[in-house]
Amino acid sequence: MLKQEGTYNGQCKDIGPNTSSKGTPFMDIVFNVQLIASDGAWNDLDQPFDRHVRMYLSDAAWDQSIEKLALLGFNGDFKNPEITDDWVALECVHEEYNSKMGEKWELSDWGGSSERKAPDDNTLRTLNARYKTAMAARKPPTTKPPAANRPPVTDDDGPPPSDDEVPF
């Protein structure tokens, strides 16, 4: 179940470098979220919970990420990272990713802009042309993929598993 969107306050529990599935390095900060902002005050949560904030360290995200890390009091050591800002205001928003709604956690009021800034028209034309060229170069498959090499399912496989035996 998704946490409600809003501003929270959490205590840094862990910080360390990590790598995404696409090979992009990022700083992973785990916060134990304990408070929620409501009616201009911090209120205790019934059940604190942990959430991760990722700060990607790619060339494109570098400036923004190091600014955030500096605001947290990062020691500058990616091998043995530490931050001095113990309690941090966090923002939870809901976003769709891969057709699923999920939570995205970010530093609250860190100083960056969350507004979109569209590229200029020339850049958009270039991107459109690049995409069109890439799609034109792709050739649709001319044959069907091979059938999977799986043995046929027969009644000899025994009874179906009980609910207790199914792992999900």
**Lowest mean pLDDT, pick from 126-135, 144-153, 157-166:** 144-153
**Lowest mean pLDDT, pick from 72-76, 145-149, 159-163:** 145-149
Cα 91 from Cα 75, distance rounded (Å) = 23
pLDDT digits (tens, 9 = 90+) for 121-148: 787 777 677 767 766 776 655 555 554 4
- Would you mind telling me the total number of residues written for the chain in this entry? 168
Contact status, residue 14 vs residue 29, Cβ threshold 8 Å: yes
CATH tag, 6-107: 2.40.50
Q: Look at residue 97 in the predicted model and tell me its pLDDT.
A: 85
Contact status, residue 29 vs residue 52, Cβ threshold 8 Å: yes
pLDDT digits (tens, 9 = 90+) for 3-60: 999 999 999 999 999 999 999 999 999 999 999 999 889 999 999 999 999 999 999 9
Q: Look at residue 82 in the predicted model and tell me its pLDDT.
A: 92
Domain range list for the chain? 6-107
pLDDT digits (tens, 9 = 90+) for 98-117: 889 999 999 987 655 444 45
Tell me whether residue 28 is exposed, middle or buried, using C-beta atoms within 10 angstroms of its C-beta: 0 to 12, 13 to 18, 19 or more: middle
